[in-house]
Amino acid sequence: MESRTETHCPYCAFQCGMTLVREETADGPRLTVHSRDFPTNRGGLCRKGWTAADLLTSPERLTTPLMRDRKDGPLRPVLWDAALDRIAGTIRATQEAHGPAAVGVFGGGGMTNEKSYALGKFARVGLGTPNIDYNGRFCMASAAAAGIKAFGLDRGLPFPLEDIEKADVILLVGGNPAESLPVMMQYFEEQKRRGGRLIVVDPRLTPTAALASLHLQITPGTDGALGNGLLNVLIQQGHLDLDYIARRTTGFDEVRRTVAAYWPDRVERITGIPATRITEAARMLGTAKSVMILTARGPEQQSSGVDNTLSFINLALALGQVGKPHGGFGTLTGQGNGQGGREHGQKADQLPGYRKLDNPEHRAHAAAIWGVEESSLPMPGLSACELLAALGRADPELPSIRVLLVMASNIAVSAPDVSRVQRGLRALDLLVVSDIFLSETAAMADIVLPISQWAEEEGTMTNMEGRVQLRRRATCQPDGVRTDLQVIKAIADRLGRGAYFSDDPRAVFEELRRASAGGVADYAGITWERVATEDGVFWPCPDTGHAGTPRLFAESFPTPNGKARFNPVNHRASAEEPDQFYPLYLTTGRVLSQYQSGAQTRRVAALTDAEPGAFVEIHPGMARNHGIRNGDRVRLVTRRGDATLTARLVTTIRMDTVFVPFHWGGEGCANLLTNPALDPVSRIPEFKVCAVRVERADATLRH
């Protein structure tokens, strides 16, 4: 017997279509990934997608709840009822003693829309706590805040992927899709084949930058100065679309005054990019027929992430490109449901449909759908890093979280300044983690709940274009495993709030449609059947007769006056700059063969063979100064702590910068080093810049 199911890859925001084939064999079901002609990936998959079926049959799969009786005791198998009873009992006791806000929830952008929605509702209606946030705060928060400020709306790409191929010039700032969204490269390659040009801004000559017509090898943390500098030159050269600026935007004069101070020589001094290259890039942008500007985590994961992003949005607006064919501004969303996961209420300040928790009308709408009093809904709570800083806190003057439920995130690896986060996790009265595997965070939990994964359940996922797609069930889940929706409902049941929750994904989606109706991210017209038959539907889609909205902003912007807003921004130095003790920049990011905290991909043999362990990229010139050879063990030291990794000498990185991917826990964990300094608006941490010192790992011994 063989069954074929059309579904999507479990990993990144490209959400490639794939066909999963399930065969019965003497040793149990065998699952294999096959190509599928879906409009976005057009049959393509990267090596993570091709090997994704290994996740389903992994021997490391969790299949029973685990619990420890005392903090220093071992995790032991336990029945579901015992685990759920203890969770509900501890929540109740904690909230009675310390108030509802002492229970926190941490979600993830890999979860389906239904789970994200249910988790946000569970925090507000099931627990009555304001304190829910999620790992998208580490990821899309700066781009989201900037998009809302400028356009009144945050959708990763406000145009379909196919527009990339027809753009004349693309400016890609701090993104490395050749490794982070590999299947997307076919669009950039086609754009190049048609005569288009690509400018890449990155401190490293990445595989993506290697394809570019122009690579601007920027000093980490200086993107805002570059954005302003490019606009300065465009103004000098008279390349603005004054008619568009007058008709479709507000606030340009103040931006013009601000960028007047960013002349090319000064920007060269700040960014390390030669002034001639800045002028050359501006000339390419200014003379292009269409310009597409894309940002990714490079400029966004900084303490000036929102302003950096705004400086590039200003550029796209001044060129009159936003809402024009084959042009505009977009940001490359990262996680599988990084888009949908940030629309329906997992965020500390948010209600479904991108409504706001502090807006009385929005609160009334959500409360009516949920059948609760508006006054019972909490106000906005702590954002992710602030929530993690409050774990087990003793200071009675400040918020303290004593019970934390984690669903779909491995914060013990992926949060900044991770030793502090681990201390907080240990100080909790109760840590509950739902996961597929015993992730580093699950291994620290008091209770671990085994969860069904992508191809074992149904749900909708929204890709980086805002296209709502269907994740279909291709195989059954192992005995002993439950879905996240079942877990949410089971805890709510025990708290006497079960009537508000369903564990059926389709029923939850129906409720999400109503809850999002009239909101910015309006799913009201998107039905399960349409998602299945139409290769996905783009939001906003206000009614079932509506075709969906692949292209936004063609006529107007969803702001009160219909115009986009320019926002004047200035370059701000990173929270921590190199000095005599920590003389280099540390930046962090991704490699092709590992995904995120590695909880999933480190369990796939082919991926671990390709990328076996933590490493640091160092320029050979810098390595020589420290007596470091390729393959040596080195220690990196920052003000937060130190990590020991293998040196990889590469000429593709700036001399003053080292790069560490964050896919591993243990002594090579990048986040032992990173700075939890936050952007004041988006509250994103500064993963992309801090000051570091490099030593040979045996250096201290030799002293």
CA distance 15 to 12: 6
CA distance 180 to 203: 16
Among ligand SF4, Mo ion, ligand MGD, none, residue 15 binds (CB under 5-8 Å by kind): ligand SF4
Residue 16 binding ligand SF4, by CB under 6 A: yes
Task: Tell the smallest beta-carbon distance from residue 1 to ligand MGD (Å).
Answer: 27
- Which contiguous run of DSSP H or E holds residue 426? helix 418-427
CA distance 551 to 547: 11
DSSP letter for 504, please. Answer: -
Mention every residue, 6+ apart, whose C-beta is less than 8 A from residue 351.
120, 345, 357, 362, 363, 365, 366, 515
Cα 472 to the center of its chain, rounded Å: 23
Q: Quote the tokens at residue 251.
A: 């606030």
Residue 156 binding ligand SF4, by CB under 6 A: no
CA distance 317 to 155: 16
CB 672 within 8 Å of CB 418: yes
Among Mo ion, ligand MGD, ligand SF4, none, residue 587 binds (CB under 5-8 Å by kind): ligand MGD
Task: Tell the smallest beta-carbon distance from residue 538 to Mo ion (Å).
Answer: 21
CB 103 within 8 Å of CB 402: yes
- The region of 11-19, 160-168, 236-244, 476-484 touching ligand SF4 under the rule CB under 6 A is 11-19
Among Mo ion, ligand SF4, ligand MGD, none, residue 45 binds (CB under 5-8 Å by kind): ligand SF4
Task: Tell the smallest beta-carbon distance from residue 338 to Mo ion (Å).
Answer: 6
CA distance 383 to 674: 18
Task: Tell the smallest beta-carbon distance from residue 259 to ligand MGD (Å).
Answer: 18
Among ligand SF4, Mo ion, ligand MGD, none, residue 183 binds (CB under 5-8 Å by kind): ligand SF4
- Which contiguous run of DSSP H or E holds residue 56? none
- The region of 286-294, 328-336, 416-424, 687-695 touching Mo ion under the rule CB under 5 A is 328-336
Closest CA to 546 of 468, 458, 470, 464: 468
The Cα diameter of the chain in Å comes to 74
Q: Identify which of residues 14 and 566 has a Cβ nearer to ligand SF4 in the complex.
A: 14
Stated length of the chain: 703
Q: Identify which of residues 366 and 647 has a Cβ nearer to ligand MGD in the complex.
A: 647
Task: Tell the smallest beta-carbon distance from residue 180 to Mo ion (Å).
Answer: 9
Among ligand MGD, Mo ion, ligand SF4, none, residue 670 binds (CB under 5-8 Å by kind): ligand MGD
Q: Quote the tokens at residue 55.
A: 């996740």
Q: Are strands 633-637 and 537-538 parallel, antiparallel or unpaired?
A: unpaired
Among ligand SF4, ligand MGD, Mo ion, none, residue 264 binds (CB under 5-8 Å by kind): none
Task: Tell the smallest beta-carbon distance from residue 10 to ligand SF4 (Å).
Answer: 7
Task: Tell the smallest beta-carbon distance from residue 66 to ligand SF4 (Å).
Answer: 29
Among Mo ion, ligand SF4, ligand MGD, none, residue 129 binds (CB under 5-8 Å by kind): none
Q: Identify which of residues 127 and 564 has a Cβ nearer to ligand MGD in the complex.
A: 127
Q: Identify which of residues 567 and 600 has a Cβ nearer to ligand MGD in the complex.
A: 600
Burial class (CB in 10 A: 0-12, 13-18, 19+), 235: middle
User: What phi and psi values does residue 255 have, to the nearest 5 degrees?
Assistant: -65, -40
Residue 200 binding ligand SF4, by CB under 6 A: no
End-to-end CA, the chain: 66
Burial class (CB in 10 A: 0-12, 13-18, 19+), 702: exposed
Residue 90 binding ligand SF4, by CB under 6 A: no
How far from 431 is each of 64, 368, 447, CA to CA, in Å? 17, 32, 7
Q: Quote the tokens at residue 595.
A: 């995904």
Task: Tell the smallest beta-carbon distance from residue 663 to ligand MGD (Å).
Answer: 6
Q: Is the dihedral of CA 269, 271, 277, 279 positive or negative?
A: negative
Closest CA to 163 of 76, 355, 291: 291
Q: Identify which of residues 346 and 410 has a Cβ nearer to ligand MGD in the complex.
A: 410
Residue 9 binding ligand SF4, by CB under 6 A: yes
> What does 509-524 look like in DSSP terms, one character per residue?
HHHHHHHHTTSSS--T
Residue 11 binding ligand SF4, by CB under 6 A: yes
User: What phi and psi values does residue 347 have, to the nearest 5 degrees?
Assistant: -80, 150
Q: Identify which of residues 314 and 674 has a Cβ nearer to ligand MGD in the complex.
A: 674
Task: Tell the smallest beta-carbon distance from residue 364 to ligand MGD (Å).
Answer: 31
Among Mo ion, ligand SF4, ligand MGD, none, residue 49 binds (CB under 5-8 Å by kind): ligand SF4
Cα 94 to the center of its chain, rounded Å: 31
CB 690 within 8 Å of CB 586: yes
To the nearest 10 degrees (0 to 180), the angle between helices 223-236 and 275-286 is: 60
Task: Tell the smallest beta-carbon distance from residue 333 to ligand SF4 (Å).
Answer: 11
- The region of 39-47, 98-106, 559-567, 669-677 touching ligand SF4 under the rule CB under 6 A is 39-47
Which residues between 40 and 59 bind ligand SF4 (CB under 6 A)? 41, 45-46, 48-49
CB 523 within 8 Å of CB 369: no
Residue 332 binding ligand SF4, by CB under 6 A: no
Q: Identify which of residues 130 and 450 has a Cβ nearer to ligand MGD in the complex.
A: 450
Task: Tell the smallest beta-carbon distance from residue 610 to ligand SF4 (Å).
Answer: 13
Residue 15 binding ligand SF4, by CB under 6 A: yes
Which residues between 601 and 620 bind ligand SF4 (CB under 6 A)? none
Q: Identify which of residues 408 and 637 has a Cβ nearer to Mo ion in the complex.
A: 408
Cα 66 to the center of its chain, rounded Å: 29
Contact set with ligand MGD (CB under 6 A): 12, 108-111, 135, 138-139, 173-177, 179-181, 201-204, 206, 218, 220-221, 223, 296-299, 301, 332, 334-335, 338, 407-410, 413-414, 434-437, 439, 451, 453, 484, 587-590, 592, 594-597, 599-600, 659, 662, 670-671, 674, 687-689
Residue 38 binding ligand SF4, by CB under 6 A: no
Task: Tell the smallest beta-carbon distance from residue 99 to Mo ion (Å).
Answer: 32
Among Mo ion, ligand SF4, ligand MGD, none, residue 542 binds (CB under 5-8 Å by kind): none
Q: Quote the tokens at residue 385.
A: 């890093």
Among ligand MGD, ligand SF4, Mo ion, none, residue 172 binds (CB under 5-8 Å by kind): none
Task: Tell the smallest beta-carbon distance from residue 116 to ligand MGD (Å).
Answer: 10
- The region of 332-340, 419-427, 444-452, 460-468 touching Mo ion under the rule CB under 5 A is 332-340
Contact code string over 116-155 relative to Mo ion, x by CB under 5 A = -----------------------x----------------
Q: Quote the tokens at residue 460.
A: 């909708």
Q: Identify which of residues 19 and 236 has a Cβ nearer to ligand SF4 in the complex.
A: 19
Residue 12 binding ligand SF4, by CB under 6 A: yes
Q: How many residues bind Mo ion (CB under 5 A)?
A: 2
Q: State the SS3 of 525-552.
A: CCCHHHHHHCCCEECCCCCCCCCCCCCC
CA distance 182 to 388: 32
Which residues between 157 and 196 bind ligand SF4 (CB under 6 A)? 181-183
> What does 331-381 look like in DSSP terms, one character per residue?
E---STTTTGGGTSS-STTEEGGGEETT-HHHHHHHHHHHTS-GGGS----
DSSP letter for 498, please. Answer: G
Residues forming contacts to Mo ion in the complex (CB under 5 A) are 139, 334
Residues forming contacts to ligand SF4 in the complex (CB under 6 A) are 9, 11-12, 14-16, 41, 45-46, 48-49, 181-183
